[in-house]
Amino acid sequence: MAESEKHRATGRWFVFAATVLWASTATLARFMFHTRQVDPLVVVELRLTIASLVLAALLALFRRSALRVAVADIPRFLLLGILGVAAVQGSYYYSISKLGVGLAILIQYLAPALIVAFDLVRGRWVGWTMIGAVACALLGTLLLVGGVRVGQVQASPLDWGISFYSAISFAFYIMNSKAVLARYAPETVLLYTFVIAAVFWAFRNPPWVIVASNYPPELWGMFVLLGFFSTLVPFALFYMGLRRLPAAEAGVIATSEPLVAMITAAVFLDEKLGAMQLVGAAFVLAAALLASRNKPEAAEASVERG
């Protein structure tokens, strides 16, 4: 194998490892919501806080230059942190708690198609492959929702609405993060948007209220696991892979996340999808694949997790 091909093969494994961590930690979060009765938004806040503290310490020790941002760019970070990261993670974890891991992730994978649809609304022709991707995503989502049997998922119209909002907020996050990433290193963007999002959710769950909840050491261990293996480690792996791969190829590999999520949820939580939902899942995955093959922006949409 040529050296360049080995380089790319290593990159593929990095990206795949990141998707495995994202999907499997979503299953851990679902376990905490239902078995340990932890508020999903508390999990979001603590996950962000732990990741922020660890990343800030690492940058302070090894790369202080990454801590500097221009005052003029603070509004951009606030917008991305609140309407991007805070909204994405809050709606996404809430969806996991109500709809289950598989459905929550698959619905959020509408984000690439939403970005393409936004281009069409602006009058930007994106090609018939992109039109096909949007059609697959919409059909797949209809099958996913239509395939839910009464009693299988106890979700209200509000729960479904928040789940679909997670896809919208995810698309917003991706589109708005591009401008910030053009000016700052990824670790700088991650740190400040994580900090802003954590502070935002702290208004809903003040730290002293969380401390007063007296969570057992077992739960704090799970919070730390999510902070590391749902945030810091997978993002590091993904960026290492992206350095070695074209964005489109990384995006295609990242579409394995819903499949991994469904497998882990089936193994550990006994969650199962019906036949109609499995067909819907195939359509949603096909939409992500079509988008990532034809348009770099859509590929990035499928992999930049919040």
The pLDDT of residue 27: 77
Alpha helices in 182-215 (DSSP H): 186-202, 207-212
Cβ neighbours, 10 Å, residue 158:
10
Give the mean pLDDT of 12-23: 83
High-pLDDT (> 70) share of the chain, %: 77
Nearest to 59 by CA among 189, 162, 147, 181: 189
Q: Domain spans of the chain?
A: 3-301
Instruction: Report which of residues 46 and 132 the model is more confident about.
Output: 46
Instruction: Report which of residues 19 and 153 the model is more confident about.
Output: 19
Tell me the pLDDT of the chain averaged across its residues: 79
Weakest-pLDDT range from 111-120, 167-176, 228-237: 111-120
Q: Summarize pLDDT for 113-130 with one digit per residue, the tens.
A: 777 777 777 777 767 776
Cβ neighbours, 10 Å, residue 76:
20
Q: Summarize pLDDT for 32-87 with one digit per residue, the tens.
A: 887 888 999 999 999 999 999 999 999 999 999 999 999 999 999 999 999 998 99
**Confidence band (pLDDT; 50, 70, 90) for 202?**
very high
Give the mean pLDDT of 162-186: 83
The pLDDT of residue 218: 92
The pLDDT of residue 42: 94
Q: Summarize pLDDT for 73-115 with one digit per residue, the tens.
A: 999 999 999 999 899 889 988 988 888 776 787 787 777 777 7
For residues 189 and 182, what is the distance between their CA atoms, to the nearest angstrom?
A: 10
For residues 295 and 225, what is the distance between their CA atoms, to the nearest angstrom?
A: 34
The pLDDT of residue 41: 92
Q: What is the pTM of this model?
A: 0.77
Res 302 pLDDT > 70: no
